[in-house]
């Protein structure tokens, strides 16, 4: 089975042995530094120590969705599972009046430190952890002239790399969501991981959500056309929508070959391009048919002038689209047409709430990387979608120009 297609059934089977340890006394091995108030808690599944570096930490923030699972473990399919690793330190860039990071850290006796470097060194002056968990999402950060929020993801990553270089040793790193607002930063981050030889994962939790139906194309799938749908801000949620597309298209015959050009269209131009066949009505309808619908009429009427579509031309000839709906739908889905097949393959990425199971699957895969030192899925997926999004936003602000992307010569197999 391919590493990107690990099913929930397989995950539960692999984790069954861990469930038995989910209610060990607080003084169990590996748990001595945790607090007394909880009489029955889960011992970490490994003795690996992870530094958590986050922008801000409130209820249902990405820090809560990921780091809290590393502190407390998680529940899924009616079972409890221990934390995959031990959180050894926590750095919070912006502490607010709704912060839950510090109380959680106090609960679990996790040191709250003053810098990302200190999170990695634990006061020793050299690397003292086995992995780094970077969550650069949420918080009071400005937006640039293109509407991109200036999260300090590269800064966090760069400070970790400096510790690696000074210590002459590197450990796995996970970066939540897209790598940066710019292709230049993203490529620099990727290159650092390759130069220093550490496992690197990143990206959206959407590709790990429940798929209805459970569509998992085989390697070598001969896609003819493809489309994803999503919603929300063109930058903040654009990364999710592009990864909902890329996780399927990367499975095509020959693997990923890179992106030739991109274009952002809005409003009337988006609908005219749909009528002209620049993106596919049958795929749009097939994806929508899988999802709960908010709108009361046709998608053109509900979304109207606020519609936005991202067009992607891959180097091997595949054309694809990522449509972001402002009102008609608040879900993510995929639809694709394979060569020689009459039926369209489509699925809805169901983000179960309030359980947020998609973050559980993500935390599981990240934990496995911290333990094994091997990425569970390719970081190149997020590298290429980060680049797509940067150039698509450039297209948006430059009057919807089609932009050639020779930089996105990203080749990989999933």
**Positive or negative CA dihedral for 44, 155, 209, 366?**
negative
Q: Tens digits of per-residue pLDDT, 137-152?
A: 999 999 999 999 999 9
Partners of 334 in the β-ladder: 228, 347
Q: Mean pLDDT in the chain?
A: 90
pLDDT at residue number 382: 98
> Which class for 270: exposed (0-12), middle (13-18), buried (19 or more C-beta within 10 A)?
buried
Residue 282 has pLDDT above 90, yes or no: yes
Q: Tens digits of per-residue pLDDT, 9-47?
A: 444 344 433 333 332 223 233 333 333 434 335 689 999
Q: Tens digits of per-residue pLDDT, 76-113?
A: 777 888 999 999 999 999 999 999 999 999 999 999 99
Here the tokens at position 372 are 């094994």
**Domain ranges, ordered by start, for the chain:** 3-207+357-377, 210-353+383-404
356-390: string of b/e by CB count within 10 Å (b at 16+)?
Answer: bbbbbbbbbbbbbbbbeeebbbbbbbbbbbbbbbb
> What CATH number should be reported for the domain whose range is 3-207+357-377?
3.40.50.720
On whether the CB atoms of residues 193 and 173 are closer than 8 A, the answer is yes
pLDDT at residue number 6: 41
Residues with Cβ within 8 Å of 245's Cβ and at least 6 positions away in sequence, in order, are: 226, 227, 228, 312, 320, 322, 334
Give, as one character, the DSSP assignment of residue 69.
Answer: H
pLDDT at residue number 48: 97
pLDDT at residue number 38: 43
Read off φ and ψ for residue 116, nearest 5 degrees. -60, -40
68-105: string of b/e by CB count within 10 Å (b at 16+)?
Answer: bbbbbbbebeeeebbbbbbbbbbbbbeeeeebbbeebb
Partners of 265 in the β-ladder: 309
Q: What is the mean pLDDT of residues 118-133?
A: 98
pTM for the model stands at: 0.90
- Least confident segment among 74-88, 273-287, 325-339: 74-88
Q: Tens digits of per-residue pLDDT, 248-263?
A: 999 999 999 999 999 9
Q: Tens digits of per-residue pLDDT, 346-371?
A: 999 999 888 888 999 999 999 999 99
pLDDT at residue number 28: 31
Q: Do 3-207+357-377 and 210-353+383-404 show the same overall fold?
A: no
Give, rounded to a whole angstrom, the gap between the first and last alpha carbons of the chain. 11
Tokens 């496992």 correspond to 199
pLDDT at residue number 3: 39
Q: What is the fold of 210-353+383-404?
A: Dihydrodipicolinate Reductase; domain 2 (3.30.360)
Give percent above pLDDT 70 in the chain: 90
């Amino acid at each position: 089975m391919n590493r990107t297609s690990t099913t929930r059934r397989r995950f539960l089977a692999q984790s069954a042995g861990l469930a038995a340890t989910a209610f060990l006394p607080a003084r169990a091995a590996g748990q001595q530094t945790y607090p007394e108030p909880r009489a029955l808690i889960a011992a970490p599944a490994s003795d690996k120590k992870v530094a958590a570096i986050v922008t801000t930490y409130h209820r249902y923030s990405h820090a809560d969705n990921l780091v809290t699972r590393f502190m407390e473990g998680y529940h899924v399919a009616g079972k409890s599972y221990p934390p995959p690793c031990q959180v050894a330190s926590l750095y919070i860039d912006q502490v607010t009046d709704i912060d839950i990071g510090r109380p959680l850290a106090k609960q679990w006796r996790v040191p709250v430190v003053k810098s990302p470097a200190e999170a990695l060194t634990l006061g020793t002056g050299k690397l003292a952890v086995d992995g780094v968990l970077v969550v650069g999402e949420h918080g009071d950060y400005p937006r640039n002239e293109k509407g991109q929020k200036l999260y300090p993801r590269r800064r966090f990553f760069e400070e970790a790399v400096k510790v690696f270089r000074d210590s002459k040793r590197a450990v796995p790193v996970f970066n939540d969501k897209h790598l940066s607002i710019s292709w230049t930063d993203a490529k620099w981050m990727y290159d650092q991981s390759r130069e220093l030889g550490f496992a690197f994962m990143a990206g959206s939790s959407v590709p790990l959500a429940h798929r209805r139906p459970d569509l998992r194309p085989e390697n070598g799938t001969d896609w003819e056309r493809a489309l994803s749908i999503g919603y929300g801000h063109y930058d903040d949620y654009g990364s999710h929508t592009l990864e909902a597309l890329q996780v399927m298209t990367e499975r095509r015959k020959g693997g990923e070959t890179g992106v030739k050009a991109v274009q952002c269209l809005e409003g009337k131009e988006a609908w005219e391009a749909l009528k002209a066949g620049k993106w596919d009505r049958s795929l749009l309808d097939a994806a929508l048919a899988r999802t709960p619908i908010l709108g009361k009429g046709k998608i053109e009427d509900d979304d109207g002038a606020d519609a936005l579509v991202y067009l992607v031309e891959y180097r091997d000839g595949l054309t694809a689209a990522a449509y972001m709906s402002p009102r008609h739908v608040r879900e993510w889905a995929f639809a694709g047409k394979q060569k020689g097949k009459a039926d369209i393959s489509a699925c809805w990425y169901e983000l179960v709430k309030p359980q947020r199971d998609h973050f559980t699957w993500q935390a599981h895969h990240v934990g496995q990387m911290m333990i094994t030192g091997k990425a569970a899925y390719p970081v190149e997926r997020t590298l290429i979608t980060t680049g797509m999004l940067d150039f698509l936003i450039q297209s948006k602000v430059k009057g919807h120009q089609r932009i050639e992307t020779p930089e996105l010569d990203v080749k990989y197999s999933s």
